Amino acid sequence: MAKRNIQVCMTPELFSLYSDNKSIVVVIDVLRATSSMCIAFEKGVEKLIPVSTVEEALEYRNDDRNYILAAERNGKPVNSFDFGNSPQVYLDMDVKGRSVVMTTTNGTKCINIAKKDHDVVVGSFLNLDAIANWLIKQDRDVILFCAGWKGLFNLEDTLFAGALVDLLITSNLYDNSCDAAQASVVIWNSAKSDLFSFLKNSSHRKRLSKLNIDSDVHFCLKLNQTDKIPILKGDVLVVDNE
């Protein structure tokens, strides 16, 4: 039986080179967009609309459906929005059945790039095992799409890609011939005993540290806090009910 293909795309700038119009794409922006999405669904959010610009998000402001508006740029919440992209705001609030409109510096843009030619799901450490098991059931090629930082490679998304490649390869169903996938696993294996320390010099943790949100970083590096798989249907993320 031919093995499935698994590729890691390290930044959005490279996505057109990996895109094949058929693989499932897992969008990864663990600090913090895709972590927030996973935990939002865990806490009962029904729909999440990822948009690329602040302007698009603002169009939902006067809608009767009472959307939660979440917008982050450069690590900070955008003025006048309900939320930025901290995952922890969903913990203390009743969001059951609500809809969220979200725009972030990197992650939501990647969803909108990938959706043109691919089925899209959302991954983070918070749903690591769940997404690995879900992918194994699909019998499809996979592209792990790291959001990076403004087009640049980043450590935390590649680290998560490595964790996911490691789980998928263990299933023996995937061919591990992508150099970036192999590199990601090396990085994961070097880091997995202490993710927080491994990232201490990473550019984004430094960026977040200045904003005093180390507790968000700790939260986003917790494994397996939800079994929800956010999947894109049209332009809206919902929980996959397979």
Q: Which residues bind a copy of itself (CB under 8 A)?
A: 10-11, 13-14, 17-18, 149-155, 158, 176-180, 182-183, 186-187, 189-191, 201-204, 206
Q: Which is nearer to a copy of itself, 20 or 59 (CB)?
A: 20
What's the min distance (Å) between Cβ of 212 and a copy of itself? 19
End-to-end CA distance of the chain: 25
What's the min distance (Å) between Cβ of 9 and a copy of itself? 9
Q: Which is nearer to a copy of itself, 99 or 182 (CB)?
A: 182
What's the min distance (Å) between Cβ of 123 and a copy of itself? 19
Q: Which H/E stretch holds residue 174?
A: strand 174-175
Identify the DSSP state of 30: T
What's the min distance (Å) between Cβ of 57 and a copy of itself? 26
Q: Which is nearer to a copy of itself, 18 or 60 (CB)?
A: 18
Give 224's Cβ-side CA count (13 Å radius).
6
Q: Which is nearer to a copy of itself, 61 or 206 (CB)?
A: 206
Question: Are 132 and 164 in contact, with CB atoms under 8 Å apart?
Answer: yes
Question: Are 156 and 178 in contact, with CB atoms under 8 Å apart?
Answer: no
Nearest to residue 12, comparing CAs of 23, 34, 28?
28
